[in-house]
Amino acid sequence: MTAPMLARVANTVYWMSRYVERAENTARFIDVNLQLTLDRTGGINAQWMPLVSIAGAEKAFIERYKEPTRDNVLHFLTLDPDYPNSIFSCVAAARENARTVRETITTEMWEQVNELYHVMRNAQPEFLSHHFYRGAKRTAMLFTAITDNAMSRTLGWDFAQLGRMLERADNTSRILDVKYFLLLPTPEDVGSNLDVIQWRALLHSTDALEMYRQTYGPITPRNVADFLVLNRDFPRSMAFCLYRAARALTRIRGDDAHHSPNLVRRRLGQLQSDLEYATIDEVIGQGMHEYLDGFQTRLNQIGDAVNAAFFQPRDREEAEPSEPKGTPAATS
């Protein structure tokens, strides 16, 4: 257990990290879709609406853009300052958070998030290409790399790590959900004739293709799901992310194994062991979409509990708060 940090600062670092991760993931799945459209086999019926679905923003999109054309979807997800989860909005929020905690993060981290912001600010709609998204993804990854290589493993890093891993687990589950739903609307379709290119794209957007190959070889929907949900070694799988999130949480709380776990630990521990002991056939049997939907709901509840346990300033040590109400604030 390291020295305590300001609750406000912990909250800000946590969200800074989540926003950068969210921006990176959005750049990832847009980039893959762009590449699919270049590929004749996959590009004939290039679909753009699924990207909006991954982000869970159908309503917001339809209200303002009507047609899910390439340009509309790209603008909405990338540059729209009024859509709070566009890459631009996430990056701007991450930078604003970083600005508030400049004394806690390192100069290099600040310069990197600042650069990311200026890349997005200067982006022109006509240049939203593979090159652009690859650049955005790399600039965001560099921020994460600097964080990991420059910050002492004290509370600041732990909260950044907790935020990043919860966000990544959520993003992987969303990418999987939409693709799975689109490609295989019912569990009975498992084993049907599949479009390998689309599945490849799914793996690609999580940078998982090569690692998947090394583990499983041929691409099957079942194995892809297994890899992204339950694999313990792949750093973007849901199980891996939860394992790392739980580890960060243990460090934040100190070694309190002898005390009854608080709400955050209970919720996170339960979800993590569900993943640890599940088999992919059980998951598919429940219905993939239902399973992932439940997963996202439980992640939100963990977010609520993190907020209540660490970020709400308490003037004296009180008993653990009861079940917090409301949804997590999407902003810090």
Partner 1 sequence: MRLQPYRLADAFDELITENGRPRPAAEALSRRLATLPDGELVKKQAAAESALFEAGITFSVYGNGDDPANTERIIPFDVVPRIIPGAEWDRLEQGLIQRITALNHFVEDVYHERRIIKEGVVPEQFVELNQPTWAACRNIRPPGDVWCHISGIDLVRDRQGEFRVLEDNLRCPSGVSYVLENRRVLKQTFPHVFGELNVRSVDDYPDQLLQTLQSLAHDAVDRPCVVVMTPGIYNSAYFEHAYLAQQMGVPLVQGSDLIVHDGYVQMRTTAGLSRVDVVYRRIDDAFLDPKAFRPDSMLGVPGIMDVYRKGRVAIANAPGTGIADNKVIYAFVPDMIRFYLDTDPILQNVDTFLCAREKDRQHVLANLAELVVKPAHEAGGKGIVIGPHASQETLDKAAADIQADPANFIAQPVLSLSTVPTICDEAIAPRHVDLRPYILMGSQGCHVIAGGLTRVALREGSLIVNSSQGGGTKDTWVVDPSPFRADFAPPGMSQSQSQSTGGGDA
**Given the structure tokens 């090569």, which residue do they identify?**
210
Residue 266 CB, shortest distance to partner 1, in Å, is 18
Interface map 93-132 toward partner 1 (x if CB under 8 A): ---x--xxxxxx--x--xx--xx--x--x-----------
101 token code pair: 């905690």
User: Residues 128, 98: contact at Cβ < 8 Å?
Assistant: no
Nearest to 264 by CA among 300, 315, 232: 300
Interface map 8-27 toward partner 1 (x if CB under 8 A): xxx-----------------
21/158 with CB nearer partner 1: 158
What is the C-alpha separation between 93 and 95, in angstroms, rounded? Answer: 5
CB neighbours of residue 198 within 10 Å: 16
Among positive and negative, which fits the CA dihedral 220, 226, 227, 229? positive
Residue 118 CB, shortest distance to partner 1, in Å, is 8
162 token code pair: 């907790």
Interface map 47-86 toward partner 1 (x if CB under 8 A): ----------------------------------------
51/116 with CB nearer partner 1: 116
310 belongs to the binding site for partner 1 (CB under 8 A) = yes
119/194 with CB nearer partner 1: 119
In the chain, the largest separation of any two C-alpha atoms, in whole Å, equals 63
**Which residues inside 236-295 make contact with partner 1, applying CB under 8 A?**
252
CA separation (Å) from 98 to 26, 110, 304? 20, 6, 22
What is the C-alpha separation between 240 and 223, in angstroms, rounded? Answer: 16
User: Residues in the site for partner 1, rule: CB under 8 A?
Assistant: 1, 4-10, 92, 96, 99-104, 107, 110-111, 114-115, 118, 121, 155, 159, 252, 310-311, 313-317
